[in-house]
Amino acid sequence: MQRRRSEAEAQIARLLRTARRKLDLSVAFLSRVDERARTMQVVDTLLAAPADGYSGPRDSGFCLAVLEGRLPRVMPDVRRVPEAMALHPADLPQIRGHVSVPVVLSDGTVYGTFCAYGLVGDPEVSPRDLALMEVLADAAALVIEPQLRTEQEHAEIHHRIDPVIDAGGPVVVLQPIVSLCTGARVGAEALSRFPAAWGAAPTSSSARHTASARATGWSCSPSPAAPGPSATSTATSRSTSRRRPC
C-alpha cells in the first residue's frame, strides 16, 4: 500500500501528471539526490512500478548523470546513448524518451530532478519539451521548499536535544521568588540546566525554535524537589537586606 502523501507531495503529483499528460509519456517523477541515494520521492505513472520511494545508489539511474552534465537533459531515444544504457535500472522496462531538469531551491541548493520518460511504444521527446519541464520544475521547488525548511529545523532541534535526553537531562530546578517587602517566598522560577558545551547565545529565532521543539513532541516537567537550602537562604538573605516599606 502506498504511503499517504503530504499536501506538498500531492501538489507535486499534480505537476507531474501535467508533465506526463502533456508529453504523452508513461512516467513522471520528482527525484531527490543526496550524498547516499537517488530516490523517486513522488511518482505519477500509468505502470505498476516505479512507485513513491523507489530508490537506488546515488550514482544509479540517470538523475545524477544529468545533474553532472554527463547525460543530456533531453534524450529522444535512450537506446542511442551508450552511457544512458549503462546506467539503465535493470528492474525497470526499457526506457525510450527521457527528459530531466534540475530542481533548484532558492538558495541555489540542487534538490534533485524533475523527470518524465516513455517506453518503447511512447512518442519521442524533443528539445521543445524542455521548456515545459523547466517551468514545472521551478514550480515544484516552490512547493517543496517550505516543507524542507521545516524538516531541517526539526532535524536541528533533534540533533541538539537528543544527546541531552539520552544523558538524562535537562535538569529542571526551582528557585524561589521572594517578596522584597516581607521576605516571604511567594513563588518559584523553573530553570532548565543544559550542558555548557551548547554555549549558543540566544537568537531572534529562539521563540520559533521553542515552538518547533514543542511541535516535535519534546517537553519537560519541573522537578518536584525544591532547590537546596543554600540557594533558598541566599535568596532570602538578599531579600531581607533590601527590604523596603510597602
Question: What's the pLDDT at 215?
Answer: 52
DSSP lists the bridge partners of residue 99 as 74, 116
- Looking at the fold, whether 176 and 219 belong to one and the same domain comes out as yes
DSSP lists the bridge partners of residue 69 as none
Let me know if residue 1 belongs to a domain: no
Q: Is the pLDDT of residue 120 over 70?
A: yes
Q: Is the pLDDT of residue 152 over 90?
A: no
24 Ramachandran zone, left/alpha/beta (phi>0; psi -120 to 50):
left
Let me know if residue 246 belongs to a domain: no
Q: What are the helix (H) ranges across the chain? A: 7-23, 63-67, 82-87, 129-166, 206-215, 229-241
Q: Is the pLDDT of residue 74 over 80?
A: yes
Q: Which three cell numbers stand for residue 238?
A: 538578599
Residue predicted with more confidence, 169 or 225: 169
Question: What's the pLDDT at 220?
Answer: 46
Q: Is the pLDDT of residue 226 over 60?
A: no
Q: How many domains does the chain have?
A: 2
- Looking at the fold, whether 204 and 124 belong to one and the same domain comes out as no
Q: Is the pLDDT of residue 135 over 70?
A: yes
- Looking at the fold, whether 173 and 152 belong to one and the same domain comes out as no
Domain carrying residue 97: 7-156
Question: What's the pLDDT at 198?
Answer: 57
Mean pLDDT confidence for 218-229:
44
Per the CB < 8 A criterion, the answer to whether 18 and 60 are in contact is no
Let me know if residue 162 belongs to a domain: no
Q: Which three cell numbers stand for residue 49?
A: 512500478
Any idea which of 6-10, 56-60, 173-177, 199-203 has the lowest mean pLDDT? Answer: 199-203
Residue predicted with more confidence, 99 or 192: 99
* Residue linked to cell 524538516: 151
pLDDT tens digits for range 46-58: 988 899 999 999 9
Query: Given 156, 182, 200, which residue is the final one in a domain?
Result: 156
Q: Is the pLDDT of residue 210 over 60?
A: no
Q: Is the pLDDT of residue 29 over 80?
A: yes
- Looking at the fold, whether 89 and 184 belong to one and the same domain comes out as no
Mean pLDDT confidence for 168-177:
84
Question: What's the pLDDT at 86?
Answer: 95
Confidence of residue 159 (pLDDT cuts 50, 70, 90): confident
- Looking at the fold, whether 26 and 131 belong to one and the same domain comes out as yes
Mean pLDDT confidence for 232-243:
41
Let me know if residue 86 belongs to a domain: yes
Q: Is the pLDDT of residue 208 over 80?
A: no
Residue % of the chain over a pLDDT of 70: 77
Let me know if residue 51 belongs to a domain: yes
Question: What's the pLDDT at 91?
Answer: 87
Residue predicted with more confidence, 206 or 4: 4
pLDDT mean across residues, the chain: 82
- Looking at the fold, whether 234 and 144 belong to one and the same domain comes out as no
Query: Given 156, 180, 203, which residue is the final one in a domain?
Result: 156
- Rounded distance, CA 111 to CA 149, Å? 12
* 77 Cβ neighbours under 8 A, 6+ residues apart: 96, 97, 124
- Looking at the fold, whether 125 and 184 belong to one and the same domain comes out as no
Query: Given 104, 129, 156, which residue is the final one in a domain?
Result: 156
